[in-house]
Chains A and B, each alone.
Chain A
Amino acid sequence: MFWHSYKYALKTLLKNRMLVFWTLVFPFLLAMMFHLAFSRLHDYDVFEPFNVAVVKDEAYENEKVFSEAFKSLSEGDNKLFNIEYTDKDDAEKKLEDGEIEGYVYVVDGKKKVKIKENGTNQTVLTMTTEQISQSAKMIDDIAMREVAKNAGREVDVAAIYRNAVKTVTEAEPNIKDESHVMNIVSVEFYTLIAMACMQGAMLSCEMMNRCMPNITNRGKRVAIAPTRKGVIVASNLLAGYTLLFAAVMALIFFTRFVLGVEYGDNIPFICLLAAVGGLTATMMGMFLSVILKTRESAKNIIIVIVTMVGSLFAGMFGVTKMFFDELAPGVNKVSPVGLITDGLYSLYYYDDMTRFYINVISLVIISLLFFIFSIRSLRRQRYDSI
């Protein structure tokens, strides 16, 4: 019975043009658009340094690791920026006048970027600032751990910092070399993979609606059949997940081998995170479908909104993840899309895999919670009206 239901569920999904478009075609189209948009970055002859300003005040001076790293980007043959140090008012005026693409400043230890419009240069500035900020934090963390390890003993703090800088810079690709610029592009594709995973919510909602007599007429037929609800629900969800998994894997391999996106050695980890992320999205769709007592179309709209807000917070729509992490700390730690993107970012930002696995485990736990709450609700469900 399970495989009979699974076979037909998969068959109907594959023939549903709307679902196939959003799950399979749309991410591929976006991938190609990204590829076209970022193709300039592949060509180093046309990648010219651009003008940025840095607000050089006490707060900036206090961020020694960050300021040093940023300064290094305006030096040498492969420099990214033409940096001008100034005050905030002047930087604002230059931005308004179009003399600079954006400016960087520090407030309460937080590194911020102000840009006027969106474009490739602005993306490079934002992403680079984020990366340096993350790296600076890592250097601080490593140094602090070393200091703590040697508690009670006399230590050379400057030497510890020098070692930490060495550790981080050796672990990461040089900020100015080709691989770094390629990685900026890769990060954009990470967000695309995360978004593709989230299509699982839409798929599972559709599959759940088929099993619910208060939503669809087909659900009534299923409800009066002598087949256990669990068997029908599980087979339908597995069919949805199968399609999603195939679509996301196809996207990863398409971007890598057709579009030539550089994921380095991370492909197995990206696949693992995509598989777990897709599962979480599937469980989220199941959960929302069960708890929302409304029409099929309204459920779909709510799922799209939840997914899009999660994507916005995860930094998919031009506004950086860092901005939302500061605005609403914690959201990205529980939002499936936030965890997927953070897991993918961590492959790029950190040499250590701890953060990646924390994200994977968090997604597994959230999936389990969605599953348990959905099943509890489904088991109790009888309908006042259908």
Chain B
Amino acid sequence: MKNVIEVKHLTKSYKSNKAVDDLSLTVKEGEILGLLGPNGSGKTTTMNCILSLLKYDNGVINIFGKEMKPDAYDIKAKIGVVFQDVAVFDELTVYGNIDYFCGLYIEDKTTRAQYVEDALKLVGLEDNKGQYPKQLSGGLLRRLNIACGIAHKPSLIFLDEPTVAVDPQSRNNILEGIKKLRDNGATIIYTTHYMEEVEILCDRVIILDHGKIIASGTNDELKSLAKIEEKVTIEVPDLAPEKLAGFDKIKNVSEVEYDNGVLKIVYGKGKNNLADMVEYLKANKINYNKIFAERPTLNDVFLELTGKELRD
């Protein structure tokens, strides 16, 4: 697969603060690349520099094999952007908003009308097309924001935190829509600080902190960076202190935490840890309500690499 985006040594500072620090990345055709990082990590600034919306201090940015510049209209014609903040006209209906923004790319009225209908269908706003933005809920407004960004059927799409402050139903709808866009052949850059979304959607992930890439790879590759194999959570209403001490001695256990009736055990390595734990609880006559195991998350990776949580 060829590279759609190539960024080399991108640096962008706001006075003395380096928002993007010597960042290099590539995005391959047809993939969903997740840019993951806490607020202020440089995700949006990177995106705005790639789009030539912002001046940058240093670096080279190529899109579709050509240098990206503010007047690179041939490149811009193939790009769709969904900004973090909703960018629509309150005075236009849902249909009018999509038609207006789509019309900046598509001149032919018949084609545009079809594209607008397709966009409405993709985000599930067919029944709302005569409504004005103020009449929409937060989730529906976000969907409109997405439709305005992708109605012209771009082959490269930037999505900047499109699900912030969205209800679960709309979030699912949005995520499904993004998958459809990928299935239709679009290359997608997805910035977010929601690791769950990245895990569901992205083929490859770049983790940013303080404007630098601190890790990149597939979900599994990144998770292998965490020194955790598995986390087991057990609801134990009453656990005597002498029994708690025993958990530290179990094979492969690297960390034990008991708080508010919930016991959290972290395994550094090993297989069948959950089954072994059930056996242990039975053997030591420890009563429990629920027990479940989970694989390490990207938050664990971030914690491992930076010493802080993604949402700190």
Contacts and interface: CB of A to CB of B under 8 A. Distances in A.
Interface of A: 1, 4-5, 8, 11-13, 15-16, 213, 216-218, 220-228, 232, 382-386
A8 B96 contact: yes
B54 A384 contact: yes
A228 B91 contact: no
Interface in B88-122: 88-89, 91-92, 96, 100-101, 103-105, 107
B107 A386 contact: no
Contact of B53 (A1, A12, A386): A386
Among B74, B85, B89, B92, the most chain A Cβ lie within 10 Å of the Cβ of B89
B107 A226 contact: no
B62 interface: no
A383 B76 contact: no
A221 B101 contact: yes
B149 interface: yes
Contacts of B70: 223, 382
Contacts of A216: 87
A221 B148 contact: yes
A385 B256 CA distance: 46
B86 interface: yes
B166 interface: no
Contacts, number: 81
29 contacts: A1-B104, A4-B103, A4-B107, A5-B103, A8-B92, A8-B96, A8-B100, A8-B103, A11-B91, A12-B92, A213-B53, A217-B83, A217-B86, A218-B89, A220-B83, A221-B87, A221-B104, A221-B148, A221-B149, A223-B70, A224-B53, A226-B74, A226-B76, A226-B104, A226-B105, A232-B104, A382-B54, A383-B54, A385-B54
B53 A220 contact: yes
Nearest to A1: B107
A116 B210 CA distance: 67
Given A1-B107, A221-B101, 10 more contacts: A8-B89, A11-B91, A11-B92, A16-B91, A218-B87, A224-B79, A226-B74, A227-B73, A232-B104, A384-B54
A221 B100 CA distance: 11
B81 interface: yes
A226 B69 CA distance: 11
B24 interface: no
Given A12-B91, A220-B83, A226-B77, A384 B148 contact: no
